[in-house]
Chains A and B, each alone.
Chain A
Amino acid sequence: MSEKVVRIVDEGLLPLIKPPDPEDLRAANRQRDKGLVDKRMSEDEAIARFVADGMYIGFELYGSVRCPMSLVRALIRSGKTHFDLAGQGVHEADLLLAAGIIERIDCTYIGQEVYGVSAPLRRAVESGQVKQVVEWSNGAITWRFKAAAMGLPFIPTYSMLGSDTLKYSSAVAIEDPFTKRPICLLPALTLDVGFIHVNRADKFGNCQVDGISGFALEMARASKKLIVSTEEIVDSEVIRAKPHLTVIPWYNVDAVVHAPFGSWPGEMSGMYERDEEHYRMFIDASQKAESTDAYMKEWVRDLPDHQALLEKIGRERLDAIVIGKGA
């Protein structure tokens, strides 16, 4: 047997927020009900049942595409707090940071894309409200989920090598025992609860995504509990007619939440465009803590649920972004 101790050639400076624990995920999967059970429930019920203070959570999205915003708002309203957070972040991370419920972040990117750096992130980190930010590349966080999904302790990649992203991460670069070249190892990452928004799902949780699939496939399989929100709930027949679009199978899903316009003000491929006007309004508001608080009160805390939000936005405005109507 060719056993040997690895030669570490470089190492991130920051402690690992969540060490790999494939057995933990296996145990959670064993306990899941694999039957075809109707898992439909509201945002509030899903969060009440599956989310607790201090959990490690993650939201899947691609820029502002397919972000589970109705779940983000419900989570903030729930009053639960002290979370660790993984992933890319745009609007959803801003709201969570503005709400002050995030303690540590495994961060690939949080920003406002064309509108620049996220002001709520800057305030939360500079004030010390967020206690630790660990850097990863966008690919790295997906591969960390992929490693967990495959039951592996880590996955190798050339990403991050030779950059300061490695320095401010918790990754380890070793000498590849096959080629003797440096290779970066990414530890598997398991979430206590994952949140994913999809185009359509059946009541059992078979989920389909149109357009970019981001890291939905990997994160779904790396989550001990998975809350899915969906634009439409359809018959299983509809799912079966296009099996190649099913990125998440029912046995990975714990809750199915019906949330039309669930990605608003972000967009959904083939369904509706991004509400640019609202984005700009938020960006302006988010520059100062006081105006951010006012936004949070008006658009999150003072609304009882997603339906109330849709009524506040109004039919006319929603129609204007629907593809085939106004857009």
Chain B
Amino acid sequence: MSKVMSMKQAIAKHVNDGDFLFIGGYICRTPFAAIHEIIRQQKKDLTVTRSNAADDFDMMIGAGVVKRFIATFLSLGFYGLGRCYRRSLEQGIPHKIEVEEYTNLSLPMMLMAGSMGMPFIPVKDMAGSDLLNVKSFMGDNKYKIIDSPFDGAKTVLVPALNPDLAIVHVQQADEDGNAQMWGIGGDCQVGANAAKKVIVTCERIVDREVIGKDPSRTIVPDFKVVAVVEEPFCAHPGYTPGFYDFDFNFGNLYKNASSTVEGFQAFLDEWVYGVTGRAKYIEHYIQKMGYGAYRNLQAKFDYGYPVSYAY
């Protein structure tokens, strides 16, 4: 059964106020078009999670759609700290979000536990740090310490996470939602499989035959998927191996814009509220930056390999 729909339909139908969302990516394959749509539809009180959060999470926090954040860290990479994140925590603009902190190892392991049907997972990396002393909305369920029944050693257990919905961007998927990804994976696969349902956004929809010929690349099976959105250039300003490269100029533009409340609002007005969807966003990008800038981001097709890893 085809689950193909538009981004607007997918977000309207499957993202509810108060939901717990996993959003895949990390500069690489971030479903930015979905994030913009969530902001356009003014969703509220979301709990969001991913290790290595970046400009995408910063933008959602600045736009006021986030209530809680199960976090490892949030930064704009070499553009420094997330400005909206900082304003939210320091000044309550637009409101102060609640943050539960883990590490970049523990959080993917919590999602892995969720994807494997385990209720918790032991971890080694939080012991001895202040991450055990500071608890937020998860309270006593942030972690537990037990004596291992095998050797008596004190062992930290962190709970499995099972988000209501995962949104992941991949290179290709079939109409049923079998999703294939290559390049850096991050916690995308465990996050998607830990969630109760998944929205797959993809650069291209391919036949089931294409998926079946290269099964090792499939990260999400169709029965987890509730919507498939074909959205080329979805991850811009992030990159998607084989399709387009990271847009450094746009990263800089976002850093500058988000440095002030007014600048951030103007950015949203122009790039999110000012367009109806990703097609219009691309049109606006080309008008503003020139076709050359858009063309330069596109990957050269690499004929040497069955899939292209080029940027």
Contacts and interface: CB of A to CB of B under 8 A. Distances in A.
Nearest to B113: A156
A36 to B, nearest CB: 21
B119 to A, nearest CB: 5
Given A153-B155, A158-B117, A244 B217 contact: yes
Nearest to B182: A244
A177 B144 contact: yes
Nearest to A241: B305
Interface stretch (B120-128, B251-259, B270-278): B120-128
B146 A177 contact: yes
B150 A20 contact: yes
A135 B153 CA distance: 25
A30 interface: no
A222 B123 CA distance: 17
A38 B94 CA distance: 59
B121 A155 contact: yes
B149 interface: yes
B132 interface: yes
A152 B122 contact: yes
Interface string B118-162: 111111100000001000000011011111111101110101000
Interface string A142-175: 0000000011111111100000000000001010
Contact of A1 (B118, B145, B148, B153): B145
B216 interface: yes
A20 B150 CA distance: 7
Q: Is the interface of A mostly helix, strand, loop or mixed?
A: loop
Q: Is the interface of B mostly helix, strand, loop or mixed?
A: mixed
A315 interface: no
B292 interface: no
Given A153-B151, A177-B157, A242-B306, A183 B146 contact: no
Contact of A2 (B140, B147, B159, B182): B140
A3 interface: yes
A19 B151 contact: yes
A153 B119 contact: no
Of B146, B147, B149, B217, most buried by chain A (CB within 10 Å of CB) is B149
B150 A2 contact: no
A155 B122 CA distance: 7
A196 to B, nearest CB: 17
B148 A2 contact: no
A320 to B, nearest CB: 27
Interface in B152-186: 153-155, 157, 159, 182
Contact of A244 (B119, B143, B146, B216): B216
- Which are the 4 A-B pairs with shortest beta-carbon distances? A177-B144, A172-B149, A3-B145, A187-B150
5 contacts: A152-B121, A153-B153, A154-B150, A242-B306, A244-B217
